[in-house]
Structure 1
């Protein structure tokens, strides 16, 4: 059953909150594991009474293209409305490279030696 535009927007907002909370809040992440229905409801996702909820912490299938994780999740949610079994893909927390940049790399990021986009007295 396809979601209306408003229902889709509401679902996407709740799903986004659930993913961000799973990445940044240990208590929410633990609740997601122990009681996924309560955690997802807390994030703003409507789960009908009597529905089964399963959380899949694997990353989405990359071969599905650009915005695959979101489209894949919307399809799973729509399928859950028919079957009564909801599967939620909560990707693993992205890893951020925290190694320090050299001064040369920082200069390149900031635009190098020039102060503006055109040659002038302060850039030469």
Structure 2
């Protein structure tokens, strides 16, 4: 198997993270059988390797950094996937001023989470 390139990694990684955030059952499956869940997202690893999923903060590394950590698996035999936590649920509400700014196309103030 060849190292994964950035565009391929971003597509597969985005698919996986989106599924994890949308479906709590996907996270349970990822812990129980990481190889299968990773393969479903397009991130296949050699049969003699192992997968390690590490929950991280979204700001720990950029996508290139996450790819570099993943590709180290080709040397070490352990493929590490850094998955950002999804601590914020859709229970947060935006006030009318922020909603108006968003609808008008204005950028959200720094530190404001847009769900």
User: TM-score, normalised to structure 2's length?
Assistant: 0.72
More strand by share: 2
Relative to structure 1, is the Cα distance of residues 106 and 42 closer, same or farther in structure 2, using a 3 angstrom cutoff? closer
**Segments ≥4 residues shifted beyond 4 Å:** none
Aligned match of 1:34 in 32, 36, 43? 32
SS at match of 1:57: strand
Which has the greater radius of gyration? 1
1:108 Cα shift?
A: 5.4
Q: Do residues 71 (structure 1) and 69 (structure 2) align?
A: no
Partners in 2 of 1:85 and 1:97 — Cα distance?
Answer: 37
1:106 Cα shift?
A: 6.1
Partners in 1 of 2:14 and 2:49 — Cα distance?
Answer: 21
Relative to structure 1, is the Cα distance of residues 101 and 27 closer, same or farther in structure 2, using a 3 angstrom cutoff? same
1:107 Cα shift?
A: 8.4
SS at match of 2:47: coil
- Size of the aligned set, in residue pairs, is 101
1:30 Cα shift?
A: 1.1
1:16 Cα shift?
A: 1.2
Unpaired segments ≥5 residues, structure 2: 105-115
Partners in 2 of 1:8 and 1:107 — Cα distance?
Answer: 34
User: TM-score, normalised to structure 1's length?
Assistant: 0.67
